[in-house]
A and B are shown apart, each in its own frame.
Chain A
Amino acid sequence: GENVEQHPSTLSVQEGDSAVIKCTYSDSASNYFPWYKQELGKRPQLIIDIRSNVGEKKDQRIAVTLNKTAKHFSLHITETQPEDSAVYFCAASNRGNTNAGKSTFGDGTTLTVKP
């Protein structure tokens, strides 16, 4: 099955700096890569996603890049703000697979943005 590794497990940055979180996946058939943000005590919520036919996607201060050859994808947050502090999860799934399109999640990165 799919295996997703996420690094780093913790990340501390100064407000205004950039943050980068990286994930690698093992199944070359995976073609959908969402990122979720989970604030303390809350549910995970999608913040951005990318499909395998796209190399990069941006949404304001958040961007995701995908390297299919190397089987890794990254989340980039620019101009970080204290409210970006949360746990971020990457995931990988195969949308074309009849096996429910279930996602395999990374173990999460705890991002702390210091004011």
Chain B
Amino acid sequence: NAGVTQTPKFRILKIGQSMTLQCTQDMNHNYMYWYRQDPGMGLKLIYYSVGAGITDKGEVPNGYNVSRSTTEDFPLRLELAAPSQTSVYFCASSKRGAIQETQYFGPGTRLLVL
């Protein structure tokens, strides 16, 4: 199993541009999450999903959108990039009802908005 994969690893955007951060998991997990981590800070939940077709907002959803059309994929969309969205973005997944409800994280996408 590859686990949780994310693309791209690094991206530079200009203010106002849009992009989609890709996240895929091959562990058949029903829960998926998007976090952002600013330098020296903790993880803030952006959006999460409990299964295909179901998404909900986390702590910091403004400026982002998500969709979940399949169990495996959970893309994060930035419509109008702003410097405040410069951060490292982590996707994670977990299996509801598992004995150990660990969140497995992807390797992260480093985004710089100039």
Interface residues of A (CB under 8 A from B): 6, 32, 34, 36, 42-46, 49, 89, 93, 95, 98-108
Residues of B within 8 A of A46 (CB): 102-103
Residue B27 interfacial (CB < 8 Å): no
A-B interface pairs (CB < 8 A), number = 50
Q: Is A89 in contact with B43, judged by CB distance below 8 angstroms?
A: yes
In the assembled complex, the CB of B107 is this many whole angstroms from the nearest CB of chain A, namely 5
Q: Is A95 in contact with B105, judged by CB distance below 8 angstroms?
A: no
Q: Is A43 in contact with B100, judged by CB distance below 8 angstroms?
A: no
Query: B50, B102, B107: which contacts A49 (Cβ < 8 A)?
Result: B102
Alpha-carbon distance A51/B33, docked complex (angstroms): 21
Interface residues of B (CB under 8 A from A): 31, 33, 41-45, 48-50, 56, 58, 90, 94, 96, 100-103, 105-108
Asked, given contacts A43-B107, A102-B45, whether A34 binds B33 with beta carbons under 8 Å apart, the answer is no
Alpha-carbon distance A105/B103, docked complex (angstroms): 12
Residues of B within 8 A of A103 (CB): 103
9 tightest CB-CB pairs across the interface, nearest first? A107-B42, A43-B105, A105-B43, A46-B102, A100-B50, A105-B42, A108-B42, A44-B105, A100-B48
In the assembled complex, the CB of B99 is this many whole angstroms from the nearest CB of chain A, namely 10
Asked, given contacts A102-B48, A107-B41, whether A45 binds B100 with beta carbons under 8 Å apart, the answer is no
In the assembled complex, the CB of B110 is this many whole angstroms from the nearest CB of chain A, namely 9
